[in-house]
Structure 1
Amino acid sequence: MLGKPIIKDTRITVELILKKLSEGLTVEDIIEAYPHLTKEDILAALSYSADVISQEELIAS
């Protein structure tokens, strides 16, 4: 995964979850496609993403 954040105990990246959601898949669709994931896993990925974005610093040029 080359240092990308993943869902605990899987090889599924947070990036993949975000991409699938942006493509219009629902949480239920993702769970159906990846049955070892739970709703809590997907919500944790969203929470992690929000935390990362909220900690970014903007640098004005």
Structure 2
Amino acid sequence: MLHASECRGPQAFTGQRVIVVGAGNTAVQIAVELASAAGVTLAGRNPVKFAPQRILGRDMHF
């Protein structure tokens, strides 16, 4: 089990199955990143509300 602050990228999870708990921005970003290397399940209490990551060419979290 890792906290979001400890996640350093998908390489350590290659070929594994991972559950990301939460449906906020951080959880969704981590789930998308990990999905390039692992099977990912996103678990949250509410449905995820997707929004574009980039608006007018700029990252919304910049």
Task: Please classify the TM superposition score into its range, dividing by the shorter chain length.
Answer: under 0.3
TM-score by length of 1: 0.26
More contact order relative to length (CA 8 Å, sep ≥ 6): 2
Structure of greater Rg: 1
Q: Which has the higher helix share?
A: 1
TM-score, length basis structure 2: 0.26
Higher strand share: 2
